[in-house]
Structure 1
């Protein structure tokens, strides 16, 4: 009897998170715009407590900034934010891939293949949300295989804070398909136990993701990306 309120609370919280994330990614909520607690409370028929909890999580993911006496507003993103995030991500994940290349078991490699096959299906379906979730599984597997707990902790903290950037990058036209191709090359490097190649691929593909996102930010509504920029990811 006591479990039902908890389960309902969690479900509503997830709905709030999804609603705000999608509104920000689709441009319905603009940078600097206030996200009103009363409107959400009325829409979902709940108190403001779960809404504030959702706001805290969204702040940790880079979607919102919670300002004292003003409330939650959509966080602004700059080209510098993108450049700095992807520069650090490329270094840390590239290093993890270099170490993992000598440590991944055959079972790990088969799991990476399975995950990437799932990603290919999700890309065909245009399912960005589930692609994002499964994409995280791919990267976490080889990062964990590196066997460096501090490195894993650093990467997890970094990517959590910039989930918004990563989701925005994967949402761009053609980006999911390119990610699948990138993963195929990375798996090949892992099978060859070529740490230098794995490092190069992971680092370059992270950098390309940042470049594509910066270009999309510079164009109207962030919907059009030149094929030449995307093609560079395929040619890595």
Structure 2
């Protein structure tokens, strides 16, 4: 969206330095992942300051300290339980075993089916924009979308990541309460959620506003995304069976179609979907949570990068080669390609003259 920490005390080690924390989070990015939503919710979170050290191979070291939040999504595990055994009696043991074996082949033991069904139902809701769908997916707000607080979170979050609200824009709680026909309490709670996601900044005795990103922080985020997607690609090659790769084949076909039609908006959100599918297939929920968190902070910039001349053509070719590396089981090549895709996006931004959002 090398390492990036997410709080003053949190650090992330560069790739290759197993267990060595190195890079400080950019000031103000105090969250590694969405807030932990435990209890009856299907997400599981670990409330702690954490350093995510990306080391050799598939290893990710998570150091737990004090202060921040790491969202570790467990999909719908709380709802589905381990595997599908709850639906089976003793006579269905063979079927349950086969199901578990198939799930293990994709690295999605037990939770995959329930998560895919739940996510698909969420994303198929009529009347939602692409940004609203992405906010709902990242925050896991499908179950309580009818509440006024969730409506505020989704509406403001989508406006931020789609560019309707620009970095530095004021968020007046009185005006928002009037707009959503609510008291100020749900507005304050919604803004606090968006602050935890790094989309809003709330300073003492100042009006909340859309958070700005400086060029130094953007570079750190892209560096972190490049290394984590390298890990994702290695895990897909090593642990994902051939069948689940069909989801990426379909995604690539859609990318090719959107690129041929010159439909930038559709192409952009299909790229976001391709990346989300990769993170799901890699079956490492801690990494997925971190990618979700830093990814939504930079969606405006990722859109800007793809909108530059020649970028869509380059991007579709890069994803085509990446898919081939997955199919051919070339772990090193896949990791190198995916890191190159992320770094190419940053280079395009820097080449465009963009140097951060400033006051």
- CA deviation after TM superposition for structure 1 residue 32, in Å: 3.5
Q: Describe the SS at the equivalent of 1:105.
A: coil
Residues 55-84 of structure 1, C-alpha deviation per residue, up to 9 Å, x if partnerless? Answer: 234334433211122131232222111211
Closer, same or farther: CA 101–18 of 1 in aligned 2, 3 Å: same
Structure 1: how far apart are the matches of 2:291 and 2:239? Answer: 19
1:14 aligns with 2:14: no
Distance 1:176 1:162 in 2: 18
The alpha-carbon deviation at position 17 of structure 1 amounts to 3.0
Change (3 A) 1:113 1:50: farther
Match of 1:109 among 242, 245, 258: 245
The more displaced of 57-66 and 104-113 is 57-66
What is the Cα deviation at residue 111 of structure 1? 1.1
How far 1:127 moved relative to its partner?
A: 6.1
Query: What is the TM-score with the length of structure 1 in the denominator?
Result: 0.71
The CA deviation at 1:96 is 1.9
Normalization by structure 2: what TM-score?
A: 0.49
Q: 1:39 aligns with which of 175, 185, 191?
A: 175
CA–CA distance in structure 2, aligned partners of residues 190 and 177 of structure 1: 20
Contact 2:157 2:199 in 1 (8 A): no
* Candidates 303, 313, 319, aligned match of 1:183: 319
1:128-143 equivalences under 5 Å are 128=265, 133-143=269-279
Q: Give the unaligned 5+ runs of structure 2.
A: 1-143
> For each residue in 1:13-40, what CA deviation from the matched residue of structure 2 results, as whole angstroms up to 9, or x when unmatched?
4333333444xx36x64x4442222233
Aligned 8 A contact 1:120 1:180 in 2: yes
Report which stretch shifted further, 55-64 or 70-79: 55-64
Distance (whole Å) between structure 1 residues aligned to residue 151 and residue 329 of structure 2 = 43
Greater relative contact order structure (CA < 8 Å, 6+ sep) = 1
User: Closer, same or farther in 2 for the Cα pair 1:41/1:21, shift >3 Å?
Assistant: farther
* Secondary structure in 2 matching 1:101: helix
- How many residues of Structure 1 are paired with residues of Structure 2 in the alignment? 211
User: Which stretch shows the higher mean deviation, 105-114 or 33-42?
Assistant: 33-42
> 1:186 deviation in Å?
0.6
1:175-228 deviation line (CA, Å, top 9, x unaligned) = 455433322111011111111110111001100111222333538x9xxxxxxx
Cα distance change of structure 1 residues 32 and 138 upon mapping to structure 2, 3 Å threshold? closer
Q: Does the C-alpha gap of structure 1 residues 62 and 150 become closer, same or farther in structure 2, counting only changes over 3 Å? A: closer
Mapped contact 1:60–1:161 kept (Cα < 8 A): no
Shift of residue 85, structure 1, vs aligned partner: 0.8
Task: Give the whole-Å Cα distance in 1 for the aligned partners of 2:188 and 2:263.
Answer: 31
The answer as to whether partners of 1:61 and 1:164 remain within 8 angstroms in 2 is: no
Q: Distance in 1 between matches of 2:254 and 2:193?
A: 28
Larger radius of gyration: 2
Which has the larger strand fraction?
A: 2
For 1:54 and 1:217, the matched residues in 2 are separated by 34
* Worse overlay, 159-168 or 60-69: 159-168
Counterpart among 73, 77, 80 of residue 209 in structure 2: 73
Change (3 A) 1:12 1:108: same
